[in-house]
Amino acid sequence: MSHLPDRFPRGWFVLGHQREFLDNHTKSVYAFDRKINVSRDQNGNISVDTGDSFVWPVLELNQMVMVWHDVEHQKPDFIPKKIDACYSDEWSDYAMASFLVKNNCRELIDNMADKGHFGPVHQAPFEGFWNEAKGHTYTQEMTANSPILGGDLFSQATYEGPAYMTTYMSAIQDGNTVESRLLVSHLPLTMTSFQINFGVMVKKVPGMSQDEENAYIKGYVDANNFAFGQDVSIWENKIYIPDPVVCDGDGPLHKLRKWYGQFLVNRSDIPSGLDMEKREF
């Protein structure tokens, strides 16, 4: 059990889709080794009771209810960007899926820089692969021809803090450009388990019926669930290598882990030099 972080990371964590939290109701969510009661009053305002004397900030943004976790009990130092598609009638709402992973939540982060696993694990070799680190954000861009998600695939995925990642994706399917947005968020339950809360929304295609749209979204959720399942089978049967030997074809794993490390220390202990200009790997 060595090498485990000494805390849960600092940042915004998605508790669930806003439609799960009804007016005048309290819902319990297990996270951060505790039961969190999430209440919405008759005016629609959300609050959380974590059992702490410190009130954890909450946020309702991009269709999600989020909570700010910080062992230093300070105010948030960033807010995720508003995504216009989340408020547009031209887009569907997020369809959500969640699953449990029995490992520390840092395992999820490696994927951002882990260029080498796409072929063996997902049978989806990419063409271009870029990474950029800037303050509390880390971005991955990728171009690929995916047998699962479509040809001429472009995706741009950005973490804002350690646990809230959103992706814009476009791909050609049956001759049409399909635009989608993914949400990959997670909640640590314990130090050795976390729950992925995953969301998909698509830009509505003119002329597409509600049934066709639902079927399309379901297909996308299923494809992504399948891809996550491929990762989970690896994550649940591995050890953590704190200082991996990397090869010339690997992405910037060390750089990414240093960036993530800023959320696992007090603010006064965050080292400088975590930013990385956008570059291709």
Question: Of 151-190, which residues contact another protein (CB under 8 A)?
Answer: 189-190
Which strands, in side-by-side order, build the sheet including 25-31?
Answer: 25-31, 34-40, 46-49
User: Applying CB under 8 A, does 250 fall inside the site for another protein?
Assistant: yes
Looking at 55, 100, 172, 215, which residue binds another protein (CB under 8 A)? 100
Tell me the chain's radius of gyration from C-alpha atoms. Answer: 19
- Please tell me the distance from the alpha carbon of residue 248 to that of residue 136, in angstroms, as a whole number: 27
Segment lying near another protein (by CB under 8 A), choices 51-59, 197-205, 234-242, 263-271? 234-242
Instruction: Identify which of residues 22 and 234 has a Cβ nearer to another protein in the complex.
Output: 234
Cα-Cα-Cα-Cα dihedral sign, residues 83, 190, 193, 26: negative
User: Applying CB under 8 A, does 50 fall inside the site for another protein?
Assistant: no
User: Applying CB under 8 A, does 120 fall inside the site for another protein?
Assistant: yes
Beta bridge partners of 237: none
Report the SS3 class of residue 120. helix
Q: How many angstroms from the chain centroid is the CA of residue 224?
A: 13
- Please tell me the distance from the alpha carbon of residue 270 to that of residue 252, in angstroms, as a whole number: 19
| DSSP label of 33 | T
User: Applying CB under 8 A, does 87 fall inside the site for another protein?
Assistant: no
User: Applying CB under 8 A, does 128 fall inside the site for another protein?
Assistant: no
User: Applying CB under 8 A, does 241 fall inside the site for another protein?
Assistant: yes
What tokens does 154 get? 């472009």
Q: Shortest gap between Cβ of 59 and another protein (angstroms)?
A: 25
Looking at 25, 102, 254, 279, which residue binds another protein (CB under 8 A)? 102
What tokens does 188 get? 């640590």
Size of the site for another protein (CB under 8 A): 35
Looking at 175, 249, 271, 273, which residue binds another protein (CB under 8 A)? 249
Looking at 115, 136, 181, 186, which residue binds another protein (CB under 8 A)? 115
User: Applying CB under 8 A, does 131 fall inside the site for another protein?
Assistant: no
User: Applying CB under 8 A, does 121 fall inside the site for another protein?
Assistant: yes
Report the SS3 class of residue 254. helix
Looking at 2, 42, 43, 53, which residue binds another protein (CB under 8 A)? 2
CB 81 within 8 A of CB 50: no
User: Applying CB under 8 A, does 143 fall inside the site for another protein?
Assistant: no
- Please tell me the distance from the alpha carbon of residue 157 to that of residue 167, in angstroms, as a whole number: 4
Instruction: Identify which of residues 100 and 172 has a Cβ nearer to another protein in the complex.
Output: 100
Rounded (10°) CA dihedral 47, 49, 55, 56: -70
Chain residues in the site for another protein (CB under 8 A): 1-2, 4, 30, 33, 100, 102-104, 110, 114-117, 119-121, 189-190, 192-193, 233-234, 237-241, 244-250
